[in-house]
């Protein structure tokens, strides 16, 4: 009786936890303390159910590469001029830098300079080009930077379950559930990031400024973060001096590094003009806090501990590896702006979402009712036990989706409906095995035990095969297919538990209560 009692307590506990977890997703006015207990986890409706904006944007990587080449050209031009070759010794073309005159006859110093300061460039005949590896790298950084800029903008607005994902080499798909205005969405994410460096005003009171007494020449900006698990947006205010000390145009590159304390930091490389300017700034304002601002959002505000000369700087701020990587991408995107062009935009109306929800719920109710009715009709009391496992399966699946903060889409609903059909399949195999044992005139208790034991590997094999299929769908599929694969995978795993443990517990309780001479199956 002890094993039965342990399993019974486990199942009852899971049912209670599941009900507790699902209610906030069904009832929007659930008390705040209730949501706080489950970490504000809640199942969200996707674009096809809630309505919203769907955008496909193309990143103009060619323009980003051209911008990067032009920045390098300004450095090369300054170097060539310093060597006495004159300002016309180099000229900028769309895809290369052309050298001419006396410089063309004496390229040794230029070649050495490129190797030391612009290793991504190569000199061939009278032209300077990007190396192929560097060209691919800058195009990749342009796209990843554009994705991060868009995510940074959208997260600040706290939109529920937005999706920003790459598609192919230079396309970005943006889904904004709940947003009905395409113009608003375009305005929200369409601009190129603006990166600036400003001083934090520590001379005046931030509290007074928040109460309306903002000193002249200052402004209040925020460090805004969005927690994808709790779906909460938090803002930390800073009192910032309005004057811009430096912009992101002087940054050549930014990459994640590990410092001597084994913590991730972001290493920044400045061009020659930026190196001089940053050296002057950090010398003049040693001991003060320098705010790094992207799209009016304060990314970091480190203290300038000492003058930073030579054009290399390190930004630290107790980052996780993911945060450091995101900051490096954001800094690169500020230094390497990549224009984006909208090539497709659609507004999904709320009526479509309401119809989809209604159709999905109706299909689920009809499907569940038919399965429940068939099981009771064909397997009598045992069928009723299987129906209990079916309801358990649906409840546990909805709870899992809620706790993971999953976004429910129409394909996801299809996955749930398919799971309902699969939920009793395992019990059908078990019941048929039990019937075979009973036909051989074996005692009911032994027939039940043998039925579960003999069906176990068949059930496990079929579920593992289905799980592999769902995994392949998730790995290779796009957004809607992934949603279907997720609900199907969770349903398969949960079904293994409910069919092999949930129903077995009830049979064990019945057989332990009294000696069974006959089983309604």
Short-list 41, 128, 56, CA closest to 93: 128
Are 274 and 421 contained in the same domain?
no
Same domain, residue pair 336 and 358: no
By the 8 A CB rule, do 134 and 150 touch? no
Per-residue pLDDT of the chain (521 residues; tens, 9 = 90+): 446 788 888 889 999 988 888 888 777 677 767 766 766 667 777 777 777 788 888 888 888 888 788 878 888 888 888 888 877 788 888 788 998 888 888 888 888 888 888 889 998 888 898 998 888 888 888 888 888 777 766 765 555 567 788 888 889 888 877 776 667 666 666 655 567 889 999 999 999 999 989 998 899 999 877 665 666 778 899 999 988 888 777 777 788 888 888 888 888 888 888 888 888 998 999 999 999 887 678 888 888 888 888 888 777 766 778 778 767 776 665 544 577 888 887 776 655 556 766 776 787 788 788 888 888 888 888 888 888 888 888 889 888 888 877 777 777 777 887 877 777 788 888 888 888 888 888 888 888 888 888 888 888 888 888 889 888 888 877 666 777 888 888 888 898 888 888 888 888 888 776 666 677 88
Shared domain for 404 and 278, answered yes or no, is no
Residue environment code for 62-93, b if the CB has 16+ CB neighbours within 10 A, otherwise e: eebbebbbebbbebbbebbeeeebeeebbebe
Cα–Cα distance for residue pair 375/387, rounded to 1 Å? 7
Please indicate, yes or no, whether residues 153 and 200 belong to a single structural domain of this protein: yes
Q: Which of 292, 313, 344 is the last residue of a domain?
A: 344
In a domain, 110, yes or no: no
Query: Residues 390, 448: one domain?
Result: yes
Residues 373 and 328 in one domain: no
CATH of the domain at 317: 3.30.1360.200
| Owning domain of residue 330 | 54-60+136-344
pLDDT in tens, 259-276: 888 888 888 888 888 888
Within this chain, do residues 266 and 355 fall inside the same structural domain, yes or no?
no
**DSSP annotation of 249:** G
Do 432 and 338 fall within a single domain? no
**Within a domain: residue 266?**
yes
In a domain, 86, yes or no: no
What is d(CA 372, CA 361) in angstroms, rounded to the nearest whole number? 16
Same domain, 372 and 330: no
**7 and 154, same structural domain?**
no
Q: Each residue of 184-200: pLDDT tens digit?
A: 666 666 655 567 889 99
Structure tokens at 70: 């032009």
The number of domains in the chain is 2
User: Which residue among 344, 377, 392 closes a domain?
Assistant: 344
Question: Within a domain: residue 315?
Answer: yes
pTM of the model as a whole: 0.55
DSSP state of 442: -
User: Is 98 part of a structural domain of the chain?
Assistant: no
- Which of these, 201, 159, 168, lies nearest to 56 by C-alpha position? 168
Whether 83 is in a domain gets the answer no
Assign residue 383 the CATH number of its domain.
Answer: 1.20.1640.10
Give the relative orientation of helices 2-26 and 503-513 as an angle to the nearest 10 degrees. Answer: 140
301 Cβ contact partners less than 8 Å away, ≥ 6 residues apart = 200, 223, 238, 289, 290, 291, 292
Same domain, 439 and 357: yes
Write the pLDDT tens digit of every residue in 357-411.
Answer: 677 678 778 878 888 888 888 888 888 888 888 888 888 988 888 887 777 777 7
Residue 142 sits in the same domain as residue 269: yes
Tokens of 293: 């601002």
Look at residue 42 and tell me if it is in a domain: yes
Residue 239 located in a structural domain = yes
**Domain edge (last residue) among 344, 365, 394:** 344
């Amino acid at each position: 009786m002890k094993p039965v009692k342990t399993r019974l307590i486990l199942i009852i506990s899971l049912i209670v936890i599941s009900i507790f977890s699902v209610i906030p997703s069904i009832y929007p006015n659930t008390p705040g303390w209730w949501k706080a207990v489950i970490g504000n986890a809640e199942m969200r409706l996707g674009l096809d159910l809630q309505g919203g904006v769907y955008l496909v944007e193309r990143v103009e990587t060619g323009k980003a590469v051209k911008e990067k080449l032009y920045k390098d050209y300004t450095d090369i031009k300054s170097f060539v001029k310093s060597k006495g070759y004159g300002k016309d010794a180099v000229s900028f073309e769309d895809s290369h830098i052309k050298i001419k005159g006396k410089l063309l006859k004496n390229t040794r110093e230029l070649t050495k300079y490129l190797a030391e300061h612009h290793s991504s460039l190569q000199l061939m005949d009278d032209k300077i080009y990007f190396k192929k590896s560097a060209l691919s790298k800058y195009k990749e950084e342009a796209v990843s930077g554009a994705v991060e800029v868009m995510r940074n903008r959208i997260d600040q607005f706290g939109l529920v379950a937005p999706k920003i994902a790459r598609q192919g080499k230079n396309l970005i798909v943006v889904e904004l559930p709940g947003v009905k205005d395409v113009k608003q969405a375009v305005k929200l994410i369409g601009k190129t990031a603006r990166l600036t460096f400003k001083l934090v005003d520590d001379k005046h009171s931030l509290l007074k400024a928040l109460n309306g007494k903002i000193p002249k020449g200052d402004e209040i900006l925020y460090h805004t973060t969005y927690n994808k698990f709790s779906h909460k947006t938090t803002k930390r205010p800073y009192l910032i001096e309005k004057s811009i000390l430096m912009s992101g145009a002087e940054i050549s590159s930014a990459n994640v590094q590990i410092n001597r304390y084994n913590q991730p930091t972001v290493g920044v490389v400045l061009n020659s003009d930026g190196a001089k300017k940053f050296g002057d700034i950090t010398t003049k304002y040693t001991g003060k806090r320098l705010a790094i601002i992207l799209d009016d959002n304060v990314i970091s505000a480190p203290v300038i501990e000492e003058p930073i000369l030579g054009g290399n700087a390190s930004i630290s701020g107790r980052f996780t590896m993911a945060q450091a990587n995101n900051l490096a991408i954001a800094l690169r995107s500020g230094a390497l702006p990549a224009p984006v062009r909208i090539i497709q935009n659609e507004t999904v109306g709320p009526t479509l979402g309401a119809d989809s929800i209604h159709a999905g719920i109706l299909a689920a109710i009809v499907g569940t009712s038919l399965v429940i009715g068939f099981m009771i009709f064909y397997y009598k009391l045992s069928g009723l036990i299987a129906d209990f496992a079916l309801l358990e399966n649906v409840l546990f699946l909805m709870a899992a989706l809620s706790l993971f903060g999953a976004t429910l889409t129409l394909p996801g609903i299809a996955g749930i409906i398919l799971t309902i059909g699969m939920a009793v399949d395992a019990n059908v195999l078990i019941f048929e095995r039990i019937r075979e044992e009973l036909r051989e005139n074996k005692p009911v208790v032994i027939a039940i035990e043998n039925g579960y034991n003999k069906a176990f590997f068949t059930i496990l094999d079929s579920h593992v095969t289905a799980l592999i299929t769902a995994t392949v769908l998730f790995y290779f599929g796009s957004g809607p297919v992934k949603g279907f694969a997720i609900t199907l995978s969770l349903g398969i795993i949960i079904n293994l538990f409910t069919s092999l443990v949930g129903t077995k517990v009830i049979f064990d309780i019945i057989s332990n209560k009294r000696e069974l001479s006959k089983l309604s199956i």
